[in-house]
Amino acid sequence: MAEFFFNIDHGYLEALVRGFKGGILTQADYANLVQCETLEDLKLHIQSTDYGNFLANEPGAITVQVIDERLKEKLVTEFTHIRNNALEPLATFLDYITYSYMIDNIILLITGTLHQRPISELISKCHPLGSFEQMEAIHIASTPAELYNAVLVDTPLANYFVDCINEQDLDEMNVELIRNTLYKAYLEDFYGFCKQLGGTTAEVMCEILAFEADRRSIIITINSFDTELSKDDREKLYPRCGKLYPEGLAGLARADDYDQVKQVCEYYSDYKALFEGSGNAAGEKTLEDKFFEHEQVKLNVHSYLHQFHFGVFYAFIKLKEQEMRNIIWIAECISQRHRTKIDNYIPIL
């Protein structure tokens, strides 16, 4: 039934976001971008795409930094417009999207403070989608409890943070644990929210979020080898909303090396394929890239094949983010004259 009334509340925004998605760079655009000799060429070419004149008012020489800022600015403008026009439950859904950026920002700030970086420098690196009022005061907190009580208690992340309070110090290891615990709680919450929304939204989003959860579990496992993280602690970090739950996660929890992880994933046809084509040798894509590709192409792009659901909004932000990474990658390669790896972007369409 929800489909019948979808357009009353969200039709405009869905149309808008589909329009935005139409502006995503195609293979032909990338082929042209890759040929650019200088950033000026890049600017000239990107003017002919949907980005239009977003760099036209930049005085002086273009730098990668500037491009990055403008790209983010554009994304934020678009997102804010959508968010401002959104009605419930889409508004909450969009808020959920920003939570992951908030988590990233918090972790960035804490790690930065641990390394004694000035706060202003850190703030400029934060993703604007995930900024919140108390963000800049984070560096005052020295323990997780303080962090929770003073900073996060008013933010929507407070619920996710409850599990981390008993950590003693904010050292690098704990920050990493906090990040993963937060993400776990966030993914499970978001998953539950989408499930509760039901309909096509649940169908599409649960698929994406389940993959995201499994991706995190696998990456956590692989990265945890040869660290002091115990297997029990590791298991606590696995988001329990993916397809790997429960047997796969149990398997991952017992894994001791890469091959065992691979063995666990053998049982899941989707992941098996990803493991097979990956490797660290030149010319091969890394597992991360493979995961990204799967998430982008298979899941996010496919979400546009359904109608009347919120997945398109999530997919749009994620695709745009990937596109920004691509552009920045190409721009970096151009500006550092490091053309051999310029083709390592992940094409979207």
Site string for other proteins, 113-142 (x = CB under 8 A): ------x-------------xx-xxxxx--
* Residue found under tokens 């009353």: 8
Q: How far, CA to CA in Å, does 139 sit from each of 72, 162, 204, 282?
A: 24, 19, 38, 41
What is the sign, positive or negative, of the torsion defined by CA atoms of 349, 284, 239, 325?
A: negative
- Please tell me whether residue 37 binds other proteins under the rule CB under 8 A: yes
CB 131, min distance to other proteins, A = 13
CB 64, min distance to other proteins, A = 18
CB 48, min distance to other proteins, A = 6
Round to whole Å and give the CA distance between 314 and 102: 15
- Please tell me whether residue 26 binds other proteins under the rule CB under 8 A: no
Closest CA to 36 of 338, 331, 340, 341: 331
Stretch that binds other proteins, among 40-48, 66-74, 158-166, 177-185 (CB under 8 A): 40-48
Cβ proximity of 287 and 179 under 8 Å? no
CB 42, min distance to other proteins, A = 8
Of 95, 146, 188, 321, the residue at the interface with other proteins (CB under 8 A) is 146
Round to whole Å and give the CA distance between 172 and 185: 20
CB 57, min distance to other proteins, A = 6
Omega within 30 of 0 (cis) for the link into 347: no
- Please tell me whether residue 41 binds other proteins under the rule CB under 8 A: yes
What is the sign, positive or negative, of the torsion defined by CA atoms of 96, 97, 103, 109?
A: negative
Stretch that binds other proteins, among 34-42, 193-201, 210-218, 328-336 (CB under 8 A): 34-42
CB nearer to other proteins: pick between 41 and 78: 41
CB nearer to other proteins: pick between 54 and 271: 54
CB nearer to other proteins: pick between 119 and 328: 119
CB 269, min distance to other proteins, A = 42
Question: What's the token pair of residue 189?
Answer: 């919450």
CB nearer to other proteins: pick between 2 and 153: 153
Site string for other proteins, 47-86 (x = CB under 8 A): -x-------xxxx---------------------------
Name residue 285's beta-bridge partners: 278
* Residue found under tokens 């692989």: 222
The continuous run of DSSP H or E covering 145 comes out as helix 144-146
Alpha carbon 131 to its chain centroid, in Å, reads 15
Half-sphere exposure (Cβ direction) of 313: Cα atoms closer than 13 Å: 28
Question: What's the token pair of residue 328?
Answer: 């920045």
CB nearer to other proteins: pick between 122 and 346: 122
**Residues making contact with other proteins (CB under 8 A):** 32, 35-37, 40-41, 44-45, 48, 56-59, 119, 133-134, 136-140, 146, 149-151, 153-154
